[in-house]
Structure 1
Amino acid sequence: MSKVKIGVIGCGSIAKHRHLPEYANNKNVEIVAVCDIVEERAQETADKYNATAYTSYEELLANEDVEAVSVCTPNYLHAPVSIAALKAGKHVLCEKPMATSKEEAEEMIAAAKASNKKLMIAHNQRFVPSHQKARQLVASGELGKIYSFRTAFGHGGPEGWSVDGANSWFFKKEQAFIGAMGDLGVHKTDLLRYILGEEFVEVGAFVETSAKENADVDDTAVCVLKTESGIIGTLAASWSYVSKEDNATIIYAENAIVRLEDDPVNSVIVQYKNGEVVKYELGGIQTNESGGQTSSQVVDQFITSIVNDVEPPVSGEEGMKSLQVVLAALASNETKQITRI
């Protein structure tokens, strides 16, 4: 079987630490092209993976050999680059948040349909073993009625992670569109939709810039969310957690409390109402700190969907629903009212 020929657009940290190594480890993939507006960065990456370097994504997309691309650009370019790639007949794996508006997201979905190509959004938290276990526990009915939840995703900020450090696009509103809420919060809106198996219908939020002096985007956000069946909970997304990263989710249900990624050893702890406690060691979550990055599975799932011609597990529609919760949080913060989705 011939390998899927891949181009990676944007050679920053997410491409360097996740997309490129994961493509390189996938036996069904050949990395043929990479693109970055910083020529030196593009060339260095191309040399490492024996690919062709581009500084213009339009030129990369004109390369007939490229069958699929990862879009790893700053947020404001996710939609335009993805749409151009789909129109050029390439499958697209796009980083999150997929777009900066519902309209852009809809255009991406329409472009994928029109070209009959795959569009997948890189929401990796669904593939974390503890999160998959939690979804099973909820779906099985074992927990009984779900009452509430709290989830957080926070660390010290992108300056420690982004290739450009404190000068990163992450802090610039015209390129990032949204700060911690888009960088981290959208991971959790997607995760909660996945675990609970329900959509959110109402959002209230405070979205602030309190920790970063060089930022014109939010760095600390706290939201209250309500699902269609009335499950309520909080979501915190922050670049102001200065020591240890927090990536925990807790679900409060009729028969048990489930703690996810809340304990360094046991990634799932189920504390039953009757006093029984069940602990699962399921392997960790990907963090930006752990040097030996485990696979996020996003790339493998994307390639499988192309090779087997099946719908990707995180489709454009799924990405849009997770984005809409974030957009509703922004609207709530602006209007100081609860926003309906």
Structure 2
Amino acid sequence: MIKVGIAGVGFMGWMHYLAYRERDDIQVTALCTRNQAKLDGDWTSIQGNFGPPGEQVDTSAMSKYQEVEALLANPELDVIDVCLPPHLHKSVCLAALEAGKHVFCEKPLALNAEDCDALVAAAEGAGLQLLVGHVLPFMPEFEFLYKAVQQGTYGKLLGGRFERVISDPLWLKDFYDMEKVGGPLIDLHVHDAHLIRLLFGMPTRVTSQGRLRDDTVEYCNTLFHFEDSSLVVSATSGVLNQQGRPFMHGFEVHFEKATVQFQFAGYLDEPETNQLKVLVPGEEGQVIRPNVGEWDPVKSFSEEISEVVQSVQTGIASPLLSGQLARDAVMICQRQTDSVRSGESVTI
């Protein structure tokens, strides 16, 4: 049984806990938070934009700490699950690796690529796993897309466009702070940067045009350039200052033998889903609507945890959650910021 200590009991800590609870090969045996009520099991204050609200949790058998140093000193723990604010990721992940623990860190790995590089090097030097919680490939529509690419189901990958736009998160006072949260690109678009890197490889250059809030990118459109100049890949990312549609994401990806598309928009009155479709070319054409089921957030996070288990047991980094892949996603976001600020294409 792999034993996990969760550092940070907020929304993501709650979602991870629910995923661990579904499994019999990994178990949460320790918690770290300065909130005494949460240590005592009252998680009812936790709310998020998806998944079930927090509830009472039986923490009686868990080791409980208010300081990270005490958590890391627990000799029974195999993995530290870091669900703390992004500006704390580097220091806590580094300390966990130095304490001989595998690390599973919620995205982003860190706020800049240099800090990510330091963490990747530390993990490699210690012979430990550094895994990052990019859950998008475990959501049904995105999982379908990833498998189609991996299996070559529709032939050569030609390109695609990706969207991830939210309303202004007025409740997050540090959202646009590049030193604490990272702004819309590092906090939000990093999902799609990770997916683009996963599907198409590392871009060589980005061309981004957008709007700044002070010196932070608020909204932008990006064209990604690759060594294969025939790939046409773009993304729209960021914040629109209207509150009628709190969240929207989707994709349209082009293959030699099909186009795969999906979009979800969470409007205030009711959500709308442009369900997953496969458009097949030909004189008459064809529309296929694969049944991938309803999205169950806990199931997606449980599948993510399965990758963590496999990586810890085998010593081989997950191709979906590796620290290097997460580092590349952060680097892409950094270069997009540079491009918006400069008004020029930027080499990665």
Whichever residue aligns with residue 174 of structure 1, its letter is E
In the alignment, the residues of structure 2 paired with residue 234 and residue 244 of structure 1 have an alpha-carbon distance, to the nearest angstrom, of: 22
1:283 equivalent in structure 2: 293
TM-score by length of 1: 0.84
Q: Compared with structure 1, are the counterparts of its residues 277 and 41 closer, same or farther at alpha carbon in structure 2 (3 Å cutoff)?
A: same
| Equivalent pair of 2:308/2:318 in contact (CA under 8 Å) | yes
- Report the CA distance between 1:134 and its aligned residue: 2.1
In the alignment, the residues of structure 2 paired with residue 203 and residue 277 of structure 1 have an alpha-carbon distance, to the nearest angstrom, of: 33
- Report the CA distance between 1:30 and its aligned residue: 2.6
| Equivalent pair of 1:99/1:105 in contact (CA under 8 Å) | yes
- Report the CA distance between 1:34 and its aligned residue: 1.3
Whichever residue aligns with residue 124 of structure 1, its letter is V
* 2:336 matches 1:316: no
- Report the CA distance between 1:216 and its aligned residue: 8.1
1:200 equivalent in structure 2: 203
Q: Compared with structure 1, are the counterparts of its residues 225 and 285 closer, same or farther at alpha carbon in structure 2 (3 Å cutoff)?
A: farther
- Report the CA distance between 1:244 and its aligned residue: 5.8
- Report the CA distance between 1:326 and its aligned residue: 0.7
| Equivalent pair of 1:222/1:234 in contact (CA under 8 Å) | yes
1:5 equivalent in structure 2: 3
| Equivalent pair of 1:118/1:312 in contact (CA under 8 Å) | no
In the alignment, the residues of structure 2 paired with residue 250 and residue 121 of structure 1 have an alpha-carbon distance, to the nearest angstrom, of: 25
| Equivalent pair of 2:216/2:337 in contact (CA under 8 Å) | no
Higher strand share: 2
CA deviations 1:45-77 (Å, max 9, x no partner) are 696333233221112111212221111111111
Q: Compared with structure 1, are the counterparts of its residues 171 and 244 closer, same or farther at alpha carbon in structure 2 (3 Å cutoff)?
A: closer
Whichever residue aligns with residue 10 of structure 1, its letter is G
Worse overlay, 181-190 or 216-225: 216-225
* 2:171 matches 1:174: no
CA deviations 1:71-103 (Å, max 9, x no partner) are 111111111111110110111001111112222
| Equivalent pair of 2:339/2:346 in contact (CA under 8 Å) | yes
2:310 equivalent in structure 1: 304
In the alignment, the residues of structure 2 paired with residue 253 and residue 99 of structure 1 have an alpha-carbon distance, to the nearest angstrom, of: 33
1:248 equivalent in structure 2: 250
| Equivalent pair of 2:203/2:227 in contact (CA under 8 Å) | yes
* 2:297 matches 1:270: no
1:130 to 141, 145, 150: 141
CA deviations 1:83-131 (Å, max 9, x no partner) are 1101101110011111122221111111111221111111111222332
1:327 equivalent in structure 2: 334
In the alignment, the residues of structure 2 paired with residue 115 and residue 278 of structure 1 have an alpha-carbon distance, to the nearest angstrom, of: 48
Q: Which runs of 5+ in 1 are unaligned?
A: 160-165, 287-291
CA deviations 1:140-188 (Å, max 9, x no partner) are 55544444311112233555xxxxxx15543544311x11211221111
Whichever residue aligns with residue 254 of structure 2, its letter is Y
| Equivalent pair of 1:86/1:92 in contact (CA under 8 Å) | yes
In the alignment, the residues of structure 2 paired with residue 334 and residue 105 of structure 1 have an alpha-carbon distance, to the nearest angstrom, of: 22
1:295 to 293, 300, 308: 300
Classify the secondary structure of the residue corresponding to 1:311. Answer: coil
Worse overlay, 217-226 or 121-130: 217-226
- Report the CA distance between 1:325 and its aligned residue: 0.8
Worse overlay, 263-272 or 116-125: 263-272
| Equivalent pair of 1:22/1:300 in contact (CA under 8 Å) | no
1:94 equivalent in structure 2: 105
Q: Compared with structure 1, are the counterparts of its residues 324 and 167 closer, same or farther at alpha carbon in structure 2 (3 Å cutoff)?
A: closer
Whichever residue aligns with residue 10 of structure 2, its letter is G
2:51 equivalent in structure 1: none
* 2:304 matches 1:336: no
Higher helix share: 1
In the alignment, the residues of structure 2 paired with residue 266 and residue 336 of structure 1 have an alpha-carbon distance, to the nearest angstrom, of: 34
Q: Compared with structure 1, are the counterparts of its residues 216 and 248 closer, same or farther at alpha carbon in structure 2 (3 Å cutoff)?
A: same
In the alignment, the residues of structure 1 paired with residue 172 and residue 79 of structure 2 have an alpha-carbon distance, to the nearest angstrom, of: 30
* 2:27 matches 1:22: no
In the alignment, the residues of structure 1 paired with residue 81 and residue 273 of structure 2 have an alpha-carbon distance, to the nearest angstrom, of: 33
1:223 equivalent in structure 2: 222
Alignment of 1:54-133 (within 5 A): 54-133=65-144
In the alignment, the residues of structure 2 paired with residue 336 and residue 266 of structure 1 have an alpha-carbon distance, to the nearest angstrom, of: 34
In the alignment, the residues of structure 1 paired with residue 33 and residue 99 of structure 2 have an alpha-carbon distance, to the nearest angstrom, of: 19
Worse overlay, 251-260 or 131-140: 131-140
Among the aligned pairs, what percent are the same residue? 23
In the alignment, the residues of structure 1 paired with residue 254 and residue 228 of structure 2 have an alpha-carbon distance, to the nearest angstrom, of: 15
Q: Which runs of 5+ in 2 are unaligned?
A: 44-56, 266-271
